[in-house]
Every structure is written in structure tokens, then in C-alpha cells.
Amino acid sequence: MKILVTGAAGFIGSHLCEKLLADPQNTVVGVDTFIGPTPNSLKQVNLDRLVKHPRFTMLNEDLLTTDLEHLLQGIQIIYHLAGMPGVRSSWGKDFDPYVTNNILVTQRLLEAVKGKPLQKFIYASTSSVYGEKNGKVLEETILTPLSPYGITKLTGEYLCRVYHKSFDVPVIIVRFFTVYGPRQRPDMAFHRFIKQILEDKPITLFGDGTQSRDFTYVNDCVDGISAIVHTNHLVGKTMNIGGKERASVNETLSLIEQLTGKKAKITFLPQLKGEPKHTWADISKAQALLGYDPKMPLKEGLAEEIAYIQSVYQS
């Protein structure tokens, strides 16, 4: 199987490429334009093992301008993970790159694949499309994003659906819920908290810490979405990819303190605009269709992320 992964140098993308290459029948083409909040130095760390793999090709190209006809030659499956992430920076004048990379790039890629013998086009969406909801959210829940970022990702979903309906593009949508673990982006909460506490710096906490999330360990996430390759009858479906356990931010900080042996010095800042108070995924559809079975306990997953952060910043 020849698979294209966009955003391959990123957090989830690099893990996904490694997982796909574990199958000797797969060859993977990764593409990334090295934008966003993760420094190029950390993205190069993400790629360290991949670039040595004989069945992996890495391309540093912008999907908005690259020759897609050439890029897509022989491609059977696409995982479209590339995009501009993050709620905080999607407001105001910083909205432009979100439109460009989350909407225009997605439309250009969908336009390029219509009429081609593509087996699956997997679009990576986000729990941010749901907005503020009470209890577990099903995929059929009314979508009311709270941030410009969430709106651009939902627009990408709608683009996928109209290209599926009008041109039979074999679209599958997955919605990620707060993925964490080694290689997590440095702007994300766990990465910031761990780095700040290890450096004996105050932890910046937006809100009072009672907000809760459905935390998804990255290996669980890629185990789930990699199963799409060999699973039939998924085209047109949307699936939540959530975690094993939920926790509040205060509870996760307590776990990080236990694991690092350091007491956090917390600077409280106002709650961020555009962030829901709680997220909670109903993953029954992914369980039924993919055999999705997240296994990593939160404390063990945090220990893995702490070890990664210690390693990467020491080196």
C-alpha cells in the first residue's frame, strides 16, 4: 500500500508514519512544510528514525503550491493531518494562516484527488468542532465550535463531505480529543507544564484548573487510525478518537508533580476564549468499526511524555 501522510513531521503525523511502516506491505510518503508552533529542531527530532527507513520518503513542500499531480502518483491512501493547530493563536490578525492551511490546502488536495483511483482519504479533525457540550459527545451531535480554529477544521469537514457527495472522494473523518505523549507540540498544555516545572519556572494556567479533558495517548490514537488502512465500509463515516480516562487540569498537574518530584508554582491567567470547559468523547463508533481500544493510563502516559521532554531538551 502506498500511503501519503500530510503533516508527517508533526506530533501525530510522525507517530502515524512509524506505525504504518511497521507493516512491511506499506510504503509511506510524508510531506510537511515546517510551519506552526513546533520549532524545526523538534520536528527534525520527530523525523530522526523515519528518514532512515527504506520505505519512507520525506518531502519538504507546501501543499498550496506543490505539484499535486506528481505528489499523488501511485498514492492509494491519504492521511491529511497537515494544518495550522491551536485555539489561542487563531484570533485576530493571526487567522490568515488558519484559512490558508486548514481550508484552502484541504480544498486543493480534495480537488486534486477527485476522479483518481484513491481508496481512502482520511481527514484529521478535532474535538474543537463540538464546542461546549455536557456529557459524552456522539459524532451526530450538533457542531458549534467556539474558536476560529474550530471553524476552519469544521469547514474542512464540510469540504470533505461535498467532495464525497459530488465526486465520490472516499472520505473518512476522525476527530481527535486532546492527544498527548512524546513529541507533543510545545504550545500544548502538558508540554508547557512539564517543561516549566522541570525548569523550576512558574506554570501558566489559563482558568482555575477545573476544566477537564478526554486525554488520548498518542500511541492509542495512531493504533486506532492506522487500522483504517485494512478496514472496509468506512467511507463516509465520522469517528471520535478519544482516550482511556478523563481528568481535570488540576488533577493532571498533581500527577506531574508526583512524577517529577517537584512542586508546581502556578500563575493563574484568565480562561481562554474559544476553549470549552469540558470535553468527553463517545468512542463507541470507533470501537465498533475499528476495534479501537485505548489502553494507556494517564499517569503512565504522562511519565512517557516527561521522559521525552527531559531527553529532548537535555540533548
pLDDT digits (tens, 9 = 90+) for 128-186: 999 999 999 999 999 999 999 999 999 999 999 999 999 999 999 999 999 999 999 99
Is 0.85 topped by the overall pTM?
yes
Helix 298-314 and helix 249-260: axis angle, to 10°? 60
Whether 57 shows a pLDDT value over 70: the answer reads yes
Per-residue pLDDT averaged across 302-307, rounded? Answer: 98
pLDDT band at 315 (very low <50, low <70, confident <90, very high): low
* Residues 95-107 pLDDT 10s: 999 999 999 999 9
Name the percent of the chain lying above pLDDT 70: 100
Which are the contacts of 105, defined by CB distance < 8 A and separation ≥ 6? 63, 64, 82, 83
Rounded CA gap, 288 and 33, in Å?
35
Rounded CA gap, 102 and 243, in Å?
24
* Residues 267-301 pLDDT 10s: 999 988 999 999 999 999 999 999 999 999 999 99
Rounded CA gap, 156 and 279, in Å?
21
Residue 269's SS3 state is strand
Q: How many CA atoms lie within 13 A of 33 on its CB side?
A: 16
Element (H, E) at 80: strand 77-80
Q: Chain centroid to CA 255: how far? A: 23
Q: Which three cell numbers stand for residue 55?
A: 520505505
CB 298 within 8 A of CB 244: yes
**What is the distance between the terminal CA atoms of the chain, rounded to a whole angstrom?**
36
Element (H, E) at 314: helix 298-314
Per-residue pLDDT averaged across 97-118, rounded? Answer: 97
The type of residue at 164 is H
Residues annotated as catalytic (active site), given as ranges: 149
Rounded CA gap, 72 and 2, in Å?
10
Q: What is the pLDDT of residue 266?
A: 93
Element (H, E) at 175: strand 171-176
CB 35 within 8 A of CB 101: yes
Q: What is the pLDDT of residue 90?
A: 95
CB 115 within 8 A of CB 167: yes
Q: Chain centroid to CA 186: how far? A: 13
- Where is average pLDDT lowest: 21-25, 210-214, 271-275? 271-275
| Structural domains for the chain | 2-182+215-244+273-295 (3.40.50.720)
